[in-house]
Amino acid sequence: LRNATVAHDEVNQLLKTGGIEMGRLKPLSHEKPVLKDPMGLQCVAHLHNPKWTKLARAIRESIYDPDFYDDGTYGPMYVRLAIHGAATWDKNDQTGGLEGARMRFKPEYSDAHNKFCKEVIKRQHELLKVPFPWASYADIQCLCAYVALECAQGPVIPFTPGRRDVLEPKNLKEDIPKPDGDNFVVLNYRQRGDAGCEDDPVLCPASGKSGDCPFMQLAKIMPGRVPGPEQGHLGKPCEPVTPENEKKELKEVAKYIRKVFVERIGASEQHTVALIAGGHSLGRCHPQISGYAGPWQSNPGYFNNVYCKKLLSEDWKIVDRNMEDCSGDMITGLKPYGMRRQYVNKGGKGDLMMLISDMALREDPYFGYWIQEYALDNERLKTDFGIAFKWITEIGFEPPKEKRGLEKLRFKFRKFKADALRWIAENICNADDGGDSAGPVYLPADAPKVGDPYTMQEVGKHASQQDCWVAINGKVCNLTEFMKVHPGGVQPIMSNAGKDASTDWNAIHNK
């Protein structure tokens, strides 16, 4: 891999100099670049705890690797991992998003568009999670993207920590009750103020027990939410594409992009273009991963608006696997794999590629307007991308307030007390008296009502996200405010809004 990257750089240097460096004895410098403070650290400069600066610095050191095939940098992969996780968000049922770092597990992990993530997740675990165990995988994935963008001359995005991780129920400790269903269980995170162990589920606010609360779970995201670049209207593979089919394909792909980003995720058309244009300024496609091949710009390790400029100015031709690759690119080449089709500049003889979805943005009158705007103004693209990227990496996530002063001291005491009590329980008081432990007592679902109770008809009037009541074991609970902060999202509560949730509740809490 290193040899392919070095050879690629050598060939490009000879082409740029017209071959006059053919006799150069010393090879091109292909070593890890040295980045000095504050490069890559400005995204955490506002956080008062220095541990985040140390983590950001470690991320910065992990980005560049001359032996890595992808132009010597993992930066584009860091950004891609974060955006693929965040782009699973569905505003309609409040599921998906970066919260939980669910990309580490199936089924999200097995999405065809996420084949690249295995190596990146492994790298982040070994170089970042192991030496910084206090940080959640979800926070690490997000901060990696922010630091990578900053080091690539992209926007400085203020990082907000506090994303929780999840665990599959089957991997919970033996003494923790396994919840019904197949959802992920949300774990403790001391960055958010939890005193419990970070490999244990969040305590249920009602029972005080862990692993048994339906509101502390996150749904598994099935493959298919990460958008693909083609919609299948180009005709049979390896046959010439007619202008009519090409026009129809571009129209359908633009419609699909709007359906995913605007209707499902909730982004504006402007921020949709900013996210795609900024994201595609970094990195390249790999035929062994996506089936597409080549970079969008000649300097894929840096953030800029060249993608927009090239999209408007170059002569693009649609190609398939039968094309003649004239790019000289020794890393991935520009020949798509299998049934894939893509565009290549210079009438199919160039060294850059565009996806069908990229060309669809250009041809769509609304998306195309923003492509033209960003082609004229790199700073505007950087600003808009920064705003859109921060937004999409925070949807479905309720940031905690940073603890300072007396509040921070109280929290440290709380953690110390919790750890001390746990140690005493495990090492001193771990005697089995053979009796049943006294757990919380719950009213049966048909408990008799006392006083002047609410009727279910009245409870049913409060069934919106702005005014949500549920009945649980003979008591009416107003969950409007709790819904905003609970890690499981809005959907589990809203499914029982205005109803008697006792059956669902007791199915878990009375075990």
- pLDDT tens sequence across 90-119: 999 999 999 999 999 988 888 888 888 888
Beta bridge partners of 185: 167, 217
Largest CA distance in the chain: 96
- Would you call 59 helix, strand, or coil by DSSP? helix
Residue 113's nearest CA partner among 208, 268, 221 is: 221
Cα distance between residue 375 and residue 123, in whole Å: 34
Q: Are 314 and 352 in contact (CB under 8 A)?
A: yes
pTM given for the model: 0.76
Q: Are 491 and 95 in contact (CB under 8 A)?
A: yes
Tens of pLDDT along 371-384? 999 999 999 999 99
Tens of pLDDT along 473-483? 778 888 888 77
Q: Are 144 and 78 in contact (CB under 8 A)?
A: yes
Q: Are 185 and 166 in contact (CB under 8 A)?
A: yes
Round the average pLDDT of the chain to a whole number and report it. Answer: 83
Q: What residue type is 471 in one-letter code?
A: A
Q: Are 223 and 107 in contact (CB under 8 A)?
A: yes
pLDDT of residue 269 exceeding 80:
yes
The pLDDT of residue 48: 85
| Residue 369: band (very low, low, confident or very high) from pLDDT cuts 50, 70, 90 | very high
pLDDT of residue 11 exceeding 60:
no
pLDDT of residue 153 exceeding 50:
yes
Tens of pLDDT along 185-215? 888 887 887 766 777 777 666 556 655 566 6
- CB-based contacts of 202-205 (< 8 A; 24+ apart in sequence): 202/164, 202/487, 204/509, 205/482
Tens of pLDDT along 13-50? 555 555 544 443 334 445 667 788 899 999 999 998 89
pLDDT of residue 446 exceeding 90:
no
- H helices then E strands: how many in the chain? 16, 11
What share of the chain has pLDDT > 70, as a percent? Answer: 77
What share of the chain has pLDDT > 90, as a percent? Answer: 49
Q: Are 371 and 312 in contact (CB under 8 A)?
A: yes
Match 């808009």 to its residue by tokens. Answer: 384
Cα distance between residue 422 and residue 453, in whole Å: 41
The pLDDT of residue 435: 41
With the C-alpha atoms ordered 486, 488, 494, 496, is the resulting torsion angle positive or negative?
negative
Q: Are 85 and 111 in contact (CB under 8 A)?
A: no
| Residue 434: band (very low, low, confident or very high) from pLDDT cuts 50, 70, 90 | very low
Tokens of 74: 């993992």
- E-assigned strand segments in 358-474: 463-464, 467-472
Cα distance between residue 67 and residue 71, in whole Å: 9
Residue 154's nearest CA partner among 391, 392, 381 is: 381
